[in-house]
Amino acid sequence: MLTYSGEGRDISTKVGVKTLVQNAELSMRAKRIEGKLTMRWVKVILLSMTTVMAAHGAVTKAVFGTTPDGKTVDIYTLKSDLVEARIMTYGARIVSIKTADRNGKIADVVLGYSALDGYLADSSTYFGAVVGRYGNRIANGSFKIDGHEYHVPINNNGQSLHGGLLGFDKLVWQAHEVAGGVEMTLVSPDGDQGYPGKLTAHVRYSLLHGALRIDYSVSTDKTTVVNLTNHTYFNLAGDGAGTILGEELTLPADHYTPVTPVLIPTGELPSVEGTPFDFRKSTVIGARIHDSNEQLKIAGGYDHNWVLRGNNGEPKTAARVYDPQSGRVLTVTTTEPGVQFYSGNFLDGTKFGKAGESHVKNSGLCLETQHFPDSPNHPSFPTTLLKPGETRHSTTTFTFSTHAK
Ligand code: BGC
């Protein structure tokens, strides 16, 4: 800090009045200069702070609530020049993402609740959550590792969905602030929900301008399977602003994984060519969702995994969503090999959102970057096996921008 050394000097009582007046004038002038200098420094400091904040996002922390078993749930607010994102420690969930439309009007573009109670009472939507240990389904809740059969909870139509009854979405994560973000950590003990190995998961959210980046890293002390993803529901027109059926989607993927009637991949990887699953060119989501197509009927809309171009582990575009109404654009990039495009088919309007609005069918869409569903039972899919001594990293980024009319 700037300090001024002239102040507080002794003035001898022996000095004359003139000297006293001169001294007083000098001291006032000095104070004015000091004031100017101090203001200049304050401005410089503020400007550099704003620049740093705008680039890396400022982070603040508050208490969001308490779980029934007495655990405090914190919420972190990440702010950049373009986006404000709130993330809580219950389920490492994205609670809100606020960003401007093409006219500068801010809206919250993710579905959720205004208070923790809403999340605690909802065991089926996974709003904003990190899901694990295994995002999406494992057939009949069983798989084999090295000839040993493991059983995990069956919680969805005879299958295991999103890690079981008490998955990572329903646990309170440990958190600490990092540059421009927050890192959440969860240690899942050996045998948790039937999965082998003590698994340590770190999920780091960081914000840079319009990009909210998620870095996952997982390690284990016994061979296990793992597939973490984020289950945020986006509606680029804003939470509560109708359905996503008018939004336009691009998925740069030539193949997808069709499913059986219980939403387990058949194992085939057919081409999207000539099907309602072809989103290689930007297409309105609602344009074909009601087509008479067996796969759409099974899922009640889109709820499938697309096979992304490029290699597993390399960054690539997973999806782009454009809302012609607001001009908001969401671009998703990932190092994962697949993306589950889920058009919110099971939202049934019974759950009420942040402003009391009901979350009707198709009121939000998920783009869950992931390894393919049921990979442990499909040796031809990219492996989800994780061995002791390995650390698996993956990164997904949600970037927000706007597009003129
Ligand atoms: C699944 C859906 C499921 C939903 C639960 C999605 O990831 O693919 O089938 O209903 O999560 O909210």
**Residues 327-384: pLDDT tens digits?**
999 999 999 999 999 999 999 998 888 888 889 999 999 999 999 999 999 999 999 9
pTM over cut 0.95? no
pLDDT band at 3 (very low <50, low <70, confident <90, very high): very low
Q: Phi and psi at residue 286, in whole multiples of 5°?
A: -75, -10
What does the pLDDT average to over 311-319?
95
For domain 59-402, which architecture applies? Distorted Sandwich (2.70)
Residue 396 has which token pair? 């997904």
Of 124, 136, 302, 362, best ligand 1 pocket probe by most atoms within 8 Å of the beta carbon: 136
- Cα 331 to averaged position of ligand 1 atoms, centre (Å): 21
* Catalytic residue from among 56, 162, 202, 231: 231
Residue 257 Cα to chain centre, angstroms:
24
* Short-list 286, 295, 272, CA closest to 361: 286
Q: What is the pLDDT of residue 384?
A: 98
The pLDDT, as a whole number, for residue 357 is 85
* CA dist., res. 56 & res. 168, Å (int): 27
- Phi, psi at 17, each rounded to 5°: -60, -45
Token pair of 363 as six digits: 């009121």
Q: In angstroms, rounded to a whole number, what is the distance separating the alpha carbons of residues 329 and 401?
A: 5
What pLDDT is attached to residue 36?
53
Cα(284) to centroid of ligand 1, in Å? Answer: 21
User: Relative to the CA of 135, which ligand 1 atom is closest?
Assistant: 7
CA of 216 relative to ligand 1 center, distance in Å: 20
Q: Is the CB of 277 under 6 A from ligand 1?
A: no
358 in helix, strand or coil? strand
Structure tokens at 326: 């607001």
pLDDT in tens, 9-60: 222 223 333 333 344 444 445 455 445 545 554 454 444 444 444 456 799 9
Range 120-156 burial, b when 16+ CB lie within 10 A, else e: beeeebbbbbbbbbbbbbbbbbebebeeeebebbbbb
Distance 136 CA to ligand 1 centre (A): 7
**pLDDT given for residue 51 in this prediction:** 46
Query: Cα separations (Å) of 18 from 24, 41, 260, 275?
Result: 10, 34, 99, 95
Using a 6 Å cutoff on CB, does residue 108 contact ligand 1?
A: no
Among protein residues, the one with the nearest Cα to ligand 1's atom 2 is 303
The question of whether 209 is a catalytic residue gets the answer no
Active site residue 231: yes
Residue 405 confidence (pLDDT): 85
CB of 263 closer than 6 angstroms to any ligand 1 atom? yes
Asked if residue 239 lies in contact with residue 111, where contact means CB atoms within 8 angstroms, the answer is yes
Which residue from 332, 141, 113, 121 is spatially nearest to 240, judged by alpha carbons?
113
Asked whether 173 lines ligand 1 (CB < 6 A), one says no
- Ligand 1: centre distance to CA 359 (Å): 15
Q: Cβ distance 367 to 252 under 8 Å?
A: no
pLDDT digits (tens, 9 = 90+) for 69-78: 999 999 999 9
Pocket test of ligand 1: the residue of 346, 347, 368 to mutate, having most ligand atoms within 8 Å of its CB, is 346
Question: Which one-letter amino acid corresponds to residue 111?
Answer: L
> What is the spatial distance between Cα 330 and Cα 323, in angstroms, rounded to a whole number?
9
Residue-range domain boundaries for the chain: 17-56, 59-402
Choose, from 359, 368, 371, 378, the residue flagged as catalytic: 368
Give nearest CA residue, ligand 1 atom 5: 125
**Which of 34-43, 126-135, 252-261, 307-316 is the least confident region?**
34-43
302 lines ligand 1 (CB under 6 A): no
What residues pair up with 100 in beta bridges, in sequence order? 106
Identity of the amino acid at 32: R
* CB of residue 230 inside a 6 A radius of ligand 1: no
